[in-house]
Structure 1
Amino acid sequence: MEVLSRNDSSSASNASFKREDPLVDFKRNVDDFFLITNSIVICLMQCGFACLEAGSVRAKNATNIMMKNMMDMFICGACYWLIGYSLAFGTGSPLVGIGDYVAGRGLAAGALFSHWFFQFTFAATAATIVSGAVAERCTFASYLTYSAVISGIVYPVASHWAWSDEGWLSKLGYKDFAGSGVVHLLGGVCAFVGALLLGPRTGRFDNKTPQNETFAGHSTPLVGVGAMILFTGFLAFNGGSLGHISHHGDGELVAKVLANTALGGAGGALVTMALGRAGLAGQAGKWSFLISLNGALTGMVSVCASADQLQLWASIFLGAIAGPIYCFVSQALVRFKVDDPLDAVAVHGGGGVWGLLGGAILRSDTVVAGDFGLAGLLIGYNLVGVLAIAAWAGGTCCILFGLLRRGNLLRVSQEEELEGMDRTKHSEPAYPGPPWHVKNNANAGEVFRNQAFVSEE
């Protein structure tokens, strides 16, 4: 991530900015404003995730998932301030940062507030990815625990490897401009482990038809609004990753990154829409809105790793391949009865892996330039990164979710799951009052229990 070039992970480097030089001070302020503005837009992605996830779950759990998305920002803020940023960008080790910035110490001396704020939004995004995959059956206590650990430890360590000057992946030659691996693959692997150890929602795979309408989300328009907010947020997520705007050619490069991000989404959306219409996306041939938007998100994820090095046609192609990858991973999870209500694993995990490997091939300085040797090296370096990040995220989350499961803290009771967590955990149903009510029935697998709210008629 280019943002590190102006910090160099040391207070000494930051002290080199001459405050008495008006031009240097002006450039620094412009760069800070660039990071801060993009960070604020990235924060709006939490709103996008909240709408996307709330619409994708059943009405009885909408309040619960909204609260989790809201709290992600604040849990991450506290944990990233306390220890996360220090683990990510402290000095002294290629494996993990030492305590240079614990509890915010040293941020003022190093003029690092804007960098901290930007990285904090990335950490919050990585943690938020998990909430959709474990929706509708994860306890609130386990949510608080995994959100804190992922944003405070798991993500910071991986970002140190890849984006700190001392990180071993950075020194190896791993290239990940805006986090296809560090953010999205990591979040996707954590989501997979959480969904696997939680098990499917009650009745989810009881029928032969995997895409049972009983488990469909309750509001497609809400999903759509969330996705479109995320589309906008991705522009800041990738564009802001340059880290500065005052250097020669920065404006043109940021514009190129934004164009590549949008075109990656275009390639993913168009191909998945066509696959859905052809009946090759896991359901009967229809013009599927939900499949198309997930394809677009996967395409944008895939562009993150190399958005600064792609030609425009390459971004469309990268996104176009990301679409079928999303469909394949999503259908594979259903086949193996891994319940991921948001397709978070397919979008972020599948798109993240393809972005690191496909981006290495399609970059302007590798195969496109005729340098097959460099392409091979970069594929190898990024493959090492894929394996390392997946092993780190998967291993730590296996321990984390395994301990929670062993302590009977991971999953809500069947009664609470069937009643819905809005009522049982919050006493704040998303859609209270008539004509909605919970209809009693002895069969837990029936539509009424999974959907929770049915009409009086």
Structure 2
Amino acid sequence: MIMEISWEQSVTYSINTIYLLFSAYLVFVMQLGFAMLCAGSVRAKNAMNIMLTNVVDAVVGSISYYLFGFAFAFGDNSNPFIGTNFFALKDVPNTSFDYSFFLYQWAFAIAVAGITSGSIAERTQFSAYLVFSFFLSGFVYPIVAHWVWSSSGWLSASLSNPLFASGAIDFAGSGVVHLVGAVAGFWGSLIEGPRVGRFDAFGKPIQMRGHNATLVVLGTFLLWFGWFGFNPGSFDKILVAYPSTTNQGNWTAIGRTAVTTTLAGSMAGIVTLFSRRLLVGHWDALDVCNGVLGGFVAITSGCAVVEPWAAIVCGFIAAWVLIGLNILTLKLNFDDPLEATQLHGGCGAWGLIFTGLFAKEEFVIQVYDSVDTGVVRPHGLFTGGGWELLGCQVIELLVIASWVSATMGPVFYALHRLRILRISVDEEIAGLDISRHGGYAYNAHHDEDQPRFYADYLRMQD
């Protein structure tokens, strides 16, 4: 049956669809950013492996999210805890079952596994990676997305009667995306243990720098570019009128969201630049890149509902959260090669709290209400809104940490007990590329060394 629509509706649907698809393409570009960032941040002998895992996130995530994940996240608008209604995709413009909406949400789902891959880099068996990636993108992440982003989710700010009259505001996913990936990565890294040689016999950390700073910077800028689809693109419909305004739509907030995103990341980068200069005695491009990304992660929750000046505060504190957690993890002998747990977990958690402190009432009404022009909504504690929104943000933080720990922790532990999680010491020393993937990523550079390393590896097997 063909749905009859007016010419005006057709134009509206067309513009909304084009914008949503363009945003999905930007978010998908972030996969390339993750790949370059990860490849540059690991040692050369593991570059091919980490790039392959990023490709696997996309291809495995596509199937798992289509078969299971999308239904769990958005398939049923009557259940507050889990969606159903599998294979319900169809051409119904601007609904939860629209093909364009699916593609945009898929791009988010595959990003989650990319976060986790950084935490367990350089020491994980590829078969184990396939298992956890499928489970994370097909089940664990979609349940959280349903809670917060579905119109019926129990934590959703879009409910007619939301939790504490507020609901949790996690506009583009500081918690739903970044904290989920980070908590999963934490358990994977903790259960696997540090890389060989990361800490000496006395527990003192030994530096293992990535092999290619150029790729790290390239990946950072690709992620920055993609974040303009990640955050502003979360306005999945442009032509939706705000209450108490005339002939205006979401485009009035899209620019603001892009600005707050940019300012938070930039401020975090500046703070990291100078603080690391004081701490280590030199200017470090790699640390600045992670600082910028930490600012982006933190602002992702409140990007649409805060003023630009608040975004600067967000980035400032995000940088110190990242620096502090990096120092703490080294003291605890915790090894995360890409600082993914600290960056996406610590800054993601701060982003949720930040929104509960600084969300502006006018912007909250613009984004989450479309009917009652006289509505009063809880907003940030520091902007006079009371404790309700902050309470919802804390609850979201706690339930995400609990849910992901209860699901991904046992998965990684089971893989560990089955001896299919971590590679052998000999393989790790030789490098995953030569021991598992047939050769180095940089064949021209290693033409002379490769036969010798491969011979050494074969001798170790004997």
The answer to whether the 8 A contact 2:355-2:380 is kept is no
Percent of paired sites with the same residue = 35
- Aligned counterpart, 1:259: 259
**What does the per-residue CA deviation read over 1:206-240, in whole Å, with 9 as the maximum and x for residues that have no partner?**
16685524x21111111111111111111110010
2:199 aligns with: 205
Alignment check: 8 A CA contact 2:33 2:223 kept: yes
Q: Take 2:101 and 2:343, find their aligned partners in 1: how far apart are those partners?
A: 27
Partners of 2:106 and 2:35 lie apart in 1 by 18
- 8 Å CA contact retained: 2:301, 2:355: yes
Shift of the alpha carbon at 1:260? 0.5
Is residue 138 of structure 2 the alignment partner of residue 125 of structure 1?
Answer: no
Does the CA-based 8 Å contact 2:197-2:206 persist in structure 1?
A: no
| Greater mean alpha carbon deviation, residues 125-134 or residues 284-293 | 284-293
The 1:193–1:249 alpha-carbon spacing in structure 2 relative to 1, beyond 3 Å, is: same
Among 9, 17, 37, the alignment partner of 1:52 is 37
Measured against aligned partners, the alpha-carbon deviations of 1:2-40 in whole angstroms (never above 9, x if no partner) come to xxxxxxxxxxxxx9x963311101111111111100101
Match of 1:363 in 2: 359
Provide the residue aligned with 1:7 in structure 2. Answer: none
Q: In structure 2, how many angstroms separate the alpha carbons of the residues matched to 1:93 and 1:262?
A: 36
Secondary structure of 2:300's counterpart equals helix
Q: Distance in 2 between matches of 1:403 and 1:437?
A: 35
Residue 6 of structure 1: aligned partner: none
Task: Determine which of 339, 342, 349 is the counterpart of 1:346.
Answer: 342
Looking at structure 2, the residues matched to 211 and 221 of structure 1 have their Cα atoms a distance apart, in angstroms, of 25
Matched, 1:196 2:190: yes
What SS does the corresponding residue of 2:330 show, helix, strand or coil? helix
Of the structure 1 ranges 84-93 and 321-330, higher mean CA displacement relative to structure 2 is found in 84-93
Once residues 185 and 262 of structure 2 are traced to their aligned partners in structure 1, the CA distance between those partners, rounded to angstroms, is 25
AA aligned opposite 1:434: D
The Cα shift of 1:440 comes to 6.9
Offset, 1:437: 4.0
Q: 1:227 aligns with which of 220, 227, 232?
A: 220
Instruction: Give deviations 1:261-294, integer Å, cap 9, x for gaps.
Output: 0001011001111110111xxxx22211111111
Contact 2:112 2:181 in 1 (8 A): yes
Q: Is the 8 A contact 2:439 2:450 kept in 1?
A: no
Helix, strand or coil at the partner of 2:301: helix
Deviations 1:292-336 (CA, angstroms, capped at 9, x unpaired): 111110111111111111111110110010000001111211111
Report SS of the residue matched to 1:386.
helix
* TM-score (normalizing by structure 1): 0.88
Give 1:3's aligned residue. Answer: none
Distance 1:275-1:88 versus aligned 2 partners, 3 A rule: same
Structure 1, unaligned runs of 5 or more: 1-14, 450-457
Does 1:114 pair with 2:89?
A: no
Amino acid paired to 1:255: G
CA contact (8 A) 1:189 1:393 kept: yes
In the aligned structure 2, how far is the partner of 1:286 from the partner of 1:118?
41
Residue number among 176, 180, 184 corresponding to 1:182 in the alignment: 176
Question: Cα deviations across residues 168-206 of structure 1 (Å, max 9, x unaligned)?
Answer: 111321111000000011111111111000111112111
State the 1:108 CA deviation: 3.7
Residue equivalent to 1:164? 150
- The 3 A distance-change label for structure 1 pair 367 and 409 is closer
Could you say what secondary structure the match of 2:231 adopts?
A: helix
- CA 1:297/1:164 → structure 2, altered by over 3 Å: closer, same or farther? same
Matched, 1:84 2:41: no
Query: 1:376-430 deviations in whole A, cap 9, x for unaligned?
Result: 1111111000000110011111111011011111001111111111111110311
Q: 1:188 to 1:31 in 2, by over 3 A?
A: same
Q: 2:390 aligns with which of 374, 379, 384?
A: 379
Aligned residues: 419
Give the match's secondary structure for 2:155. Answer: helix
Aligned to 1:329: 325
Match of 1:150 among 119, 123, 136: 136
Q: Work out whether residues 422 and 429 of structure 1, in 8 Å CA contact, stay in contact via their aligned partners in 2.
A: yes
Q: Deviations over 1:130-154 (max 9, x none)?
A: 0111001000011001110010001
2:33–2:221: 8 Å Cα contact kept in structure 1? yes
**1:240 equivalenced with 2:233 (yes/no):** yes
Pick closer, same or farther for the CA change 1:107–1:336 going to 2, 3 Å.
farther
> Cα distance, 1:165 vs. partner?
1.5
CA distance in 1, matches of 2:26, 2:99: 17
Q: Structure 2 residue aligned with 1:318, among 314, 318, 342?
A: 314
CA contact (8 A) 1:18 1:25 kept: no
Q: Measure the CA separation in 1 of the matches of 2:448 and 2:201.
A: 29
1:436 to 449, 452, 455: 449
**Structure 2 vs 1, CA of residues 401 and 439 (structure 1 numbering), >3 Å: closer, same or farther?**
same
CA contact (8 A) 1:299 1:322 kept: yes
Contact 1:18 1:24 in 2 (8 A): no
Return the TM-score normalized by structure 2: 0.87
* Equivalent position SS for 1:305: coil
1:107 is displaced (CA, Å) by 3.1
CA shift at 1:246, angstroms?
1.7
Residue 394 (str. 1) matches residue 428 (str. 2): no
Is the Cα–Cα contact under 8 Å of residues 89 and 99 in structure 2 kept in the other structure? no
Aligned equivalents of 2:142, 2:420: Cα separation in 1? 25
- RMSD over aligned CA atoms reads 2.1
Q: Write out per-residue CA displacement over residues 46-67 of structure 1, whole angstroms, 9 at most, x where no aligned residue.
A: 1100010011111111000001
For 2:126, give the aligned amino acid. F
Secondary structure of 2:142's partner? helix
| Matched position secondary structure for 1:306 | coil
Moved more, 286-295 or 191-200: 286-295
- Unpaired runs of at least 5, structure 2: 157-161, 241-247, 362-378
Conserved in 2, the CA contact under 8 Å of 1:51 and 1:223?
yes
Asked whether the equivalents of residues 268 and 321 of structure 1 are also in contact (C-alpha less than 8 Å), the reply is yes
Tell me the SS of whatever aligns to 1:431: coil
Distance in 2 of aligned mates of 1:368 and 1:380: 10
**What is the distance in 1 between the residues matched to 2:201 and 2:285?**
24
Structure 1 residues 440 and 29: CA distance shift in structure 2, 3 A: closer
The whole-number CA distance in structure 2 between the counterparts of 1:306 and 1:372 is: 15
